[in-house]
């Protein structure tokens, strides 16, 4: 997965992973089939003509159209997050639905219908009597395992529950299954806000991670190693450019003469400080975050102008 794809809270740019997004959206169709949502003409057709006596859990994934095969392949990924809560059992298939912890019984015990004399199309209520299990006598040693580790019977209506992310099923919850959340970063708040100019935000994102092409990197030392902004012989690094460089200091001082800008550090510690204090949706904090990204962008732009175009501007021009 590309680095920019994680959400902002995890240090990315908030660009969604298109494959996981597509799978999350497709999962909504699969969920409607699982729930037997007959308000949908398409689901009704699938249940009646595509599945017939089978379940979406046991039908072969190699048959049908390309889109249908893609949809069916999602079921094994989603199954751990779906709970079949047994009420009376009349809504569930005994052999084809994953109400048992082993999954669909027909997949584990293909000869089960023959050994138990219960047809493949039987509902789960066939082996339930007055809210207790009532399995027939099974003589086959392999099939007798069916009756082990049976789930509880709760009575009432059968329910299919989503036990995955976000507590209730949605395309967003399914997206979290296919693209699980990762560890968060403490500086993500600096990238949030509608005041950011996208290219400023992108350069700030690179700078925070030390990914700008400064000449302290061995493969860029042919461009020279000294800072072209202050021209005081300091090595060009992220720590120096932001904001120990005297040129950067003069830029900050010029800004602070115009507005009341809190800026206690003239080094990279300002990032940690600003991350903790310039949070939230308050317009002032959002403006400070945009100002920070703009400052980083223009310092880096000035550096590139001096290195590649051999032109320079004063702090008042930047």
State the pLDDT at residue 22.
Answer: 95
How does DSSP classify residue 137? P
- pLDDT class for 221, splitting at 50, 70, 90? confident
- 315 compared with 77, residue with greater pLDDT: 77
**pLDDT exceeds cutoff 50 at 123:** yes
CA distance 17 to 174: 13
Whether omega before 243 lies within 30 degrees of 0, making that bond cis, reads: yes
- Residue with tokens 């061995």, as numbered in its chain: 218
22-32 residue pLDDT tens: 999 999 999 99
**pLDDT exceeds cutoff 60 at 107:** yes
Within 10 angstroms of residue 243's Cβ, the number of other Cβ atoms is 24
Helix (H) / strand (E) containing 128 = strand 128-129
CA distance 169 to 178: 13
- pLDDT class for 1, splitting at 50, 70, 90? very low
Is the four-CA dihedral 176, 177, 179, 181 of positive or negative sign?
positive
Identify the bridge partners of residue 235 per DSSP, sorted by sequence position. Answer: 226
85: helix, strand or coil: strand
| Residues 172/178/184/185 CA torsion (nearest 10 deg) | -100
Query: 162 — phi, psi (to 5°)?
Result: -90, 120
CA distance 198 to 195: 9
Helix (H) / strand (E) containing 22 = helix 18-34
- List, in sequence order, the alpha helices (H) in 73-130: 75-78, 105-108, 112-116
Question: Stretch 71-93: mean pLDDT, rounded?
Answer: 96
CA angle 219, 225, 229 (to 5 degrees): 125
- Residue with tokens 């298939």, as numbered in its chain: 93
How does DSSP classify residue 305? I
CA distance 6 to 23: 16
State the pLDDT at residue 224.
Answer: 76
State the pLDDT at residue 318.
Answer: 57
Residues present in the chain in total: 318
CA angle 250, 252, 254 (to 5 degrees): 70
**pLDDT exceeds cutoff 90 at 170:** yes
How confident is the prediction for the chain on average, in pLDDT? 90
256-315 residue pLDDT tens: 888 888 898 888 899 999 999 999 999 999 999 999 999 999 999 999 999 889 888 877
Q: Output Rg (C-alpha) for the chain, integer angstroms.
A: 30
174-197 residue pLDDT tens: 999 999 888 999 999 999 999 999
């Amino acid at each position: 997965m590309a680095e920019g794809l994680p959400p902002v809270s995890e240090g990315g740019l908030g660009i969604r992973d298109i494959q996981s997004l597509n799978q999350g959206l497709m999962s909504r169709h699969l969920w409607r089939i699982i729930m037997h949502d007959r308000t949908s003409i398409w689901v009704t057709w699938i249940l009646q003509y595509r599945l017939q006596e089978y379940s979406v859990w046991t039908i072969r994934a190699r048959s049908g159209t390309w889109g249908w095969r893609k949809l069916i392949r999602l079921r094994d990924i989603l199954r751990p997050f779906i709970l079949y809560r047994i009420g009376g059992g009349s809504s569930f298939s005994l052999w084809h639905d994953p109400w048992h912890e082993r999954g669909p019984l027909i997949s584990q015990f293909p000869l089960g219908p023959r050994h138990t004399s219960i047809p493949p199309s039987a509902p789960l209520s066939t082996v339930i009597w007055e809210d207790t299990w009532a399995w027939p006598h099974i003589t086959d040693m392999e099939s007798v395992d069916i009756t082990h580790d049976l789930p509880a019977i709760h009575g009432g209506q059968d329910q299919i529950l989503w036990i995955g992310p976000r507590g209730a099923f949605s395309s967003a919850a399914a997206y979290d299954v296919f693209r699980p959340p990762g560890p968060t970063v403490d500086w993500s708040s600096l990238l949030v806000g509608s005041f950011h100019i996208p290219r400023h935000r992108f350069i700030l994102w690179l700078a925070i991670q030390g990914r700008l092409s400064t000449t302290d990197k061995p493969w860029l030392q042919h461009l020279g190693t000294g800072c072209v902004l202050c021209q005081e012989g300091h090595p060009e690094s992220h720590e120096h450019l932001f904001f120990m460089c005297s040129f950067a200091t003069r830029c900050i001082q010029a800004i602070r003469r115009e507005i009341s800008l809190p800026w206690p550090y003239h080094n990279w510690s300002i990032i940690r400080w600003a991350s903790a204090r310039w949070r939230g949706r308050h317009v002032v904090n959002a403006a400070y975050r945009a100002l920070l990204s703009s400052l980083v962008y223009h310092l880096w732009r000035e550096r590139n102008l001096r290195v590649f175009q051999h032109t320079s501007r004063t702090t008042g021009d930047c």
